[in-house]
Structure 1
Amino acid sequence: MQDTLRKMLHAGIGAFSMTREKASQIVNELVQKGQVNQEEAGAFIDDLIKKGEQEREALKQNIKGEVLQTTQNLGLVTREELNQLEARVAALEKTLGKS
């Protein structure tokens, strides 16, 4: 299950990630077509990269929320809850003289 969720996350992030090289290529094509002037090109590339990062972060947060909601709906414990239970069991074992 965790591996599947990881793959979904990476696939989604891949869809929104844009390298500076790819952004430059797109902007150069727009410059050649006269849709963007040379002075605007640098800012346009930075804007494309920034928006890609924002989209990626938004997707990551959405997936995280969905996973948390699904975990709660299924009644699964979180890593934090498991750690707390392990600590309680260890404390009880110590109290009872078991190590």
Structure 2
Amino acid sequence: MEDLFKKLVYTGVGVVSMTAEKLQEAVDKLVDERKMSADEGKKLVDEFFDTTEEKKKEFEGQLSSIVEKIVRSFKFASNKEMSELTERIKTLEAHAGIVGEVEESEKKAVKKAPAKTKTVAAK
């Protein structure tokens, strides 16, 4: 999902970049042909960039809102919630007197776990 958003944003940036280049070329041509003054051309290009920047901010806000809705719909824990849960676990472990023991026992269990095989009783 994140890759899709990145591709969308990069595509938009590419389109804006190409449009800006084409606009600058068109303005330069009009200035060379004396159909537009250099000041008018500069003003036109500046307005384009200002408008583009405004639209970019609007798009980022909308995209951020969409991503937040998606994340909420999956009910992922936020960084704050994860930190709070980690602290609660540490507190509970400390009260139970098993600080660090759970992690060590899990590591040992993984190393010592025998391969599961089925044994069939002979009849």
| 1:34-53 equivalent positions in 2, closer than 5 A | 34=35, 36-53=36-53
1:1-99 correspondence runs (5 A):
1-15=1-15, 17-18=16-17, 22=21, 23-31=23-31, 32=33, 34=35, 36-97=36-97, 98-99=99-100
* Root-mean-square deviation (Å): 2.8
- Largest Rg, 1 or 2: 2
Q: State whether residues 27 and 41 of structure 1, in contact with CA within 8 Å, keep that contact through their aligned partners in structure 2.
A: yes
Query: Shift of the alpha carbon at 1:66?
Result: 0.5
- The alignment's TM-score, normalised by the length of structure 1, stands at 0.68
TM-score scaled by structure 2?
0.58
Measure, in 2, the Cα distance between the counterparts of 1:37 and 1:68.
47
Between Structure 1 and Structure 2, how many residues are aligned?
Answer: 96
Q: Percent identity?
A: 19
Deviates most, 6-15 or 46-55: 6-15
1:67 is displaced (CA, Å) by 0.7
Contact 1:12 1:59 in 2 (8 A): no
Distance 1:71-1:44 versus aligned 2 partners, 3 A rule: same
Q: Is the 8 A contact 1:9 1:60 kept in 2?
A: no
Structure 2 residue runs of 5 or longer lacking an equivalent are: 101-123
Segments of structure 1 that go 5 or more residues without pairing to the other structure are none
